[in-house]
Structure 1
Amino acid sequence: MWEKFSFYGMKALLIYYMIRHLQFSQADASLIYGAYTGGVYLTPIFGGYIADRWLGRRRAILTGGSLMALGHFVLASESLFFPALLLIALGNGLFLPNLPSQVGDLYDEHDPRRGGSYNIYYVGVNLGALLAPLVCGTLGEVYGWHVGFGAAGIGMCLGLAIYRLGARHLPPDRARATAPADAEPPTRFTARSFLPLLLVGLAVVVFRSGYEQSGNTLAVWAETQVDRSLGDLTVPVTWMQSLNPLFVFLFTPFVVAGWRRAAARGREPSALAKMSMGAAGVALSYLMLAAVAVSHGGGRVSMTWVLAFFVVYTLAELYILPVGLGLFARMAPKGFGATVIAAWFLASFGGNLLSGVVGRQMVGLGPVGFFVLLGGITAAAALALYALRPLLQRAER
Structure 2
Amino acid sequence: MTTKNGPSTDLWGHPKGLFLLFGTEMWERFSYYAMRALLVLYLVDRVQAQGGGLGWDHASALQLYGTFTMLVYVTPLLGGWLADHITGQRLAIILGSILMAIGQFSLALPHAWLPGYELHAFYTGLGFLVAGNGLFKPNISTMVGDLYQPGDKRRDGAFTVFYLGVNLGMFLAGICVGVLIDQFGYQLEVDGELVQVRNYQAGFFLAGIGMLIALVLQMTLAKSFLGSIGIEPAAKRERRLQQELRKTPLTKQEVDRLKVVLIMGLFTIIFWAGFEQAGGLMNIYADRFVDRTLGGVELNPAYFQSLNPLFIMIFAPLFAALWMKLGKHDPNSPVKFAMGLVLLGIGFLMMVAATLQYSEDQQSSLWWLVLAYLFFTLGELCLSPIGLAMVTRLSPLRMASLMMGAWYFFMAGANKLAGLIGALIGSGEAATDEDMVANAFAIFGGFTLAAFLAALLLYLMSDKLIQWMHGAELSRAAKASAVAMPEPSKAP
TM-score, normalising length from structure 1? 0.95
CA separation in 1, counterparts of 2:68 and 2:182?
A: 22
Question: Aligned runs of 1:1-397 on 2, under 5 Å?
Answer: 1-20=26-45, 21-77=53-109, 78=118, 79-143=120-184, 144-167=199-222, 168-172=224-228, 173=230, 174=232, 176-178=234-236, 179=239, 180-181=243-244, 185-263=249-327, 266-297=328-359, 299-363=362-426, 365-397=438-470
Instruction: Check whether the contact 1:43–1:94 (CA below 8 A) recurs between aligned residues.
Output: yes
Tell which structure's C-alpha radius of gyration is larger: 2
Report the Cα offset of residue 341 of structure 1.
1.0
Deviations 1:104-162 (A, max 9, x none): 11222111110121111000000000000111232224421111101100110011111
The farther-off stretch of 117-126 and 336-345 is: 336-345
Residue deviations 1:234-260, cap 9 Å, x none? 111111100000000110000010000
CA drift of 1:163 comes to 1.9
Distance in structure 1 (CA, Å) of the matches to 2:322 and 2:33: 29
Identity rate of aligned residues, in percent?
Answer: 34
CA distance in 1, matches of 2:358, 2:420: 27
**Alpha-carbon distance in structure 1 between the residues aligned to 2:131 and 2:408:** 13
Q: Which has the higher contact order (CA 8 A, sep 6+)?
A: 1
Which structure carries more helix by proportion? 1
Tell me if the contact between 1:18 and 1:24 (Cα under 8 Å) persists in the aligned partners: yes
Mapped to 2, the partners of 1:190 and 1:257 lie a distance apart of 31
User: What letter matches 1:240 in structure 2?
Assistant: F
Q: Which amino acid aligns with 1:97?
A: P
Answer yes or no: is the 8 Å Cα contact 1:196–1:391 preserved in 2: no
- After superposing the two structures, state which structure 1 stretch, 224-233 or 8-17, moved more: 224-233
Q: Decide whether the 8 Å contact of 1:48 with 1:94 is kept in 2.
A: yes
Match of 1:37, SS state, is helix
Contact persistence 1:279–1:381 (CA under 8 A): yes
Whole-angstrom CA distance in 1 between matches of 2:227 and 2:147: 7
Q: Report Cα offsets for 1:57-94 as digits up to 9, x if no partner.
A: 11000000000000001113423211211110110000
Does 19-28 or 56-65 show the bigger shift? 19-28
Looking at structure 1, the residues matched to 334 and 274 of structure 2 have their Cα atoms a distance apart, in angstroms, of 19
Matched residues in 1 for 2:264 and 2:234: separation? 28
**How much does 1:210 deviate?**
1.5
Return the alpha-carbon distance in structure 1 between the equivalents of residues 155 and 324 of structure 2: 12
Q: CA deviation at 1:274?
A: 0.3
Q: Which amino acid aligns with 1:369?
A: A
- TM-fit CA distance, 1:296: 4.1
In the alignment, structure 1 segments of 5+ residues that lack a partner are none
- Aligned pair count? 395
Compute the RMSD of aligned alpha carbons: 1.7
